Homo-oligomer: A and B are copies of this chain.
Amino acid sequence: MTGSLTVVGLGPGNPDQITPEALAAVTASTDFFGYFPYIDRLNLRPDQLRHASDNREELARAKAALEMAANGGKVCVVSGGDPGVFAMAAAVCEAIDDGPAEWREIELSVVPGVTAMLAVAAKAGAPLGHDFCAISLSNNLKPWAVIEKRLVAAATAGFVMAFYNPISKARPHQLGEAFDILRAQLPGTVPVIFGRAAGRPDEAIHIVPLAEAQGDMADMATCVIVGTAETRQIERIGQRPIVYSPRFLAESSQ
């Protein structure tokens, strides 16, 4: 009687960035769980049922989806971007880990997608061209002290950084504090990219030096990429500058 649960990544929002694998998983499913703007992106058939929910109810949503799959449903949990990057795949795994034994028998699959930092990086050039890290700036699920420690560690070790969940109404100050922490570690000339709705009609990509980066340049749908001292910016006439992180690092630049 056990059914299946597929966690699907729909990419950053441009329908042309959804993989055929993700669309096939949607077609094969009968019940859909997810944050309502993601569910709204799907062209569902009348026999496919929506169980949309608010964005802050991830664990409850994962449990409801697993319950239905355990009862034989063909369930799809929908994420934007990639489901494994600050999205629903981890919430589903947490629910399985803490849930009844039969949830472990469910046929679980995760369908990857283009995550936001890749789409934003592509619009800027190649800012993630060297070693990089992805950090959620939300302190809803971890202490701010841990985030501070990771920012310093990443900056001093030379990682490019991509910030997810940079800011929200309930957390208006974290991104500005993060920039202050980084300004103490990195040159003020380091490029910072604010990327919103990459690949969508309302796309907005802004590049500023770290010295001028401010928290209110982002909203909750923005992915922020901070370069390293090695990251370079190529100015162009009539086009946005190119930002890239060189693949090489000379002995002398350690």
Contact = CB atoms under 8 A, between A and B. Distances in A.
A237 B105 contact: yes
Contacts of A58: 247
A109 to B, nearest CB: 8
Contacts of A175: none
B244 A97 contact: yes
Interface of chain A: mostly helix, strand, loop or mixed: mixed
Contact of A159 (B86, B128, B150): B150
A128 B234 contact: no
A58 B247 CA distance: 11
Number of copies: 2
A90 B126 contact: yes
A38 interface: no
A84 B122 contact: yes
B112 A121 contact: yes
11 contacts: A82-B122, A83-B122, A93-B232, A105-B236, A110-B123, A110-B125, A111-B122, A112-B121, A112-B122, A133-B133, A142-B249
A118 B153 contact: no
Interface in A81-105: 82-86, 89-94, 96-97, 104-105
Interface stretch (A15-23, A41-49, A68-76): A15-23
